[in-house]
Amino acid sequence: MSALLELEHLSVTFETPQGPVHAVQDVSLTIEGGSIVGLVGESGCGKSTLGRAILRLLPENATVAGSVRFAGRDVLALSPKEIRDLRGRNLAMIFQDPMTRLNPLMRIRDHFIETIRAHNPAVKSGQALERAKKVLADVRVPSDRLGMYPHELSGGMRQRVMIALCLLFKPALLIADEPTTALDVILEAQILQLLQSIMHEYSMSVLLITHNLGLVAEFSDRVAVMYAGRIAEEGATPPLFREPRHPYTQGLLRSVIDLETTSLYSVPGEPPSLLGETAGCPFYPRCDKRMAVCETVYPEPRLVGEDHRKVACHLY
């Protein structure tokens, strides 16, 4: 398998009135074709920014450094026309809150017709609707929903519609930014199972951005744990969950409810502010294994152990 998406030393900085905010710093990550990669971290750690940077959906006050290569193409160097063509066709994205992601003034059918025509203006609306019906069937949405307006659908239905809109052109990679956070637990399982089965059907890779460790453990092939804009640890899912190496990952895994002891651990302290320059390891103030070197020198990620896990920690 070849690398579908390669991020190299990707950094995103937002210019704000308070100063530059380093939302993503020096992230290198590879997604192979046909795999699900989970990107986990606390709120505000930069994981959604990372997802948007790949599609170049960031606001104007963001500067992106490093490189994003998608199927061999340098995404950051594409013209506006080329990136627009890539979006929705080869690279698709679904978002956290399906309730607000569809245009309230447009019928569902018009969302489909618009998206198909955006990439293929020659298609007649009748043909477009036929195609819409096919993908809707794949995400188990009855085709009578096409005539409805977004507010007439439930949250789960809307997320399925959003997924169907992404599937129209069989994209190679789907970025799913907290796709189930706004849904209840039963819907969450349904949507993720749907994503999993569709992924195989459409031979599509998924970057699953979430704060939910359980989802990642269950659905992803590889995991990247993000902390304060950087990747702390990255590797294949089973060994990483079995034997977490980075103290932050260890803390995260301990903070999942343990039903046997009924105690709930939480990583002490707060994530650092991403405003301004920082030296040393960002996890240093909260780390229970910190050393003198951690305060001043950032630990460059290195490959550790037999499973070739990348860990950014001075312990290794």
- Binding interface with other proteins (CB under 8 A): 55, 57, 80, 84-89, 92-93, 95, 97, 100-107, 114-115, 118-119, 149, 151, 162, 165-166
Of 115 and 220, which CB lies nearer to other proteins in the complex structure? Answer: 115
Count how many residues are written for the chain: 316
The DSSP secondary structure of 52-69, one letter per residue, reads HHHHT---TTEEEEEEEE
Angle at 35 between CA 192 and CA 195, to 5 degrees: 20
User: Considering the complex, what minimum distance in angstroms separates the CB of residue 120 from other proteins?
Assistant: 11
User: Considering the complex, what minimum distance in angstroms separates the CB of residue 134 from other proteins?
Assistant: 17
User: Considering the complex, what minimum distance in angstroms separates the CB of residue 165 from other proteins?
Assistant: 6
* CA 171 – CA 206 distance, rounded (Å): 10
* CA 254 – CA 248 distance, rounded (Å): 10
User: Considering the complex, what minimum distance in angstroms separates the CB of residue 87 from other proteins?
Assistant: 4
Strand order in the sheet with 19-32: 19-32, 3-16, 62-70, 73-74
User: Considering the complex, what minimum distance in angstroms separates the CB of residue 72 from other proteins?
Assistant: 19
Of 106 and 264, which CB lies nearer to other proteins in the complex structure? Answer: 106
Of 114 and 138, which CB lies nearer to other proteins in the complex structure? Answer: 114
Backbone angles phi, psi at 315, to 5 degrees: -65, -25
Q: Are 91 and 51 in contact (CB under 8 A)?
A: no
Of 166 and 216, which CB lies nearer to other proteins in the complex structure? Answer: 166
Which residues are paired to 38 by β-bridges? 208, 223
Of 4 and 225, which CB lies nearer to other proteins in the complex structure? Answer: 4
User: Considering the complex, what minimum distance in angstroms separates the CB of residue 235 from other proteins?
Assistant: 29
Q: Are 227 and 282 in contact (CB under 8 A)?
A: yes
Q: Which helix (H) or strand (E) holds 106?
A: none
Coil, helix or strand for 98? helix
Q: Are 125 and 105 in contact (CB under 8 A)?
A: no
Of 93 and 281, which CB lies nearer to other proteins in the complex structure? Answer: 93
- Give the residue from 267, 265, 264 showing the smallest Cα distance to 227: 267
Of 97 and 307, which CB lies nearer to other proteins in the complex structure? Answer: 97
Q: Per residue in 75-93, is it b (16+ CB within 10 Å) or e — as a string?
A: bbebeeeebeebbbbbbbb
User: Considering the complex, what minimum distance in angstroms separates the CB of residue 117 from other proteins?
Assistant: 9
Strands 173-177 and 91-94 turn out to be parallel
Of 90 and 278, which CB lies nearer to other proteins in the complex structure? Answer: 90
User: Considering the complex, what minimum distance in angstroms separates the CB of residue 103 from other proteins?
Assistant: 5
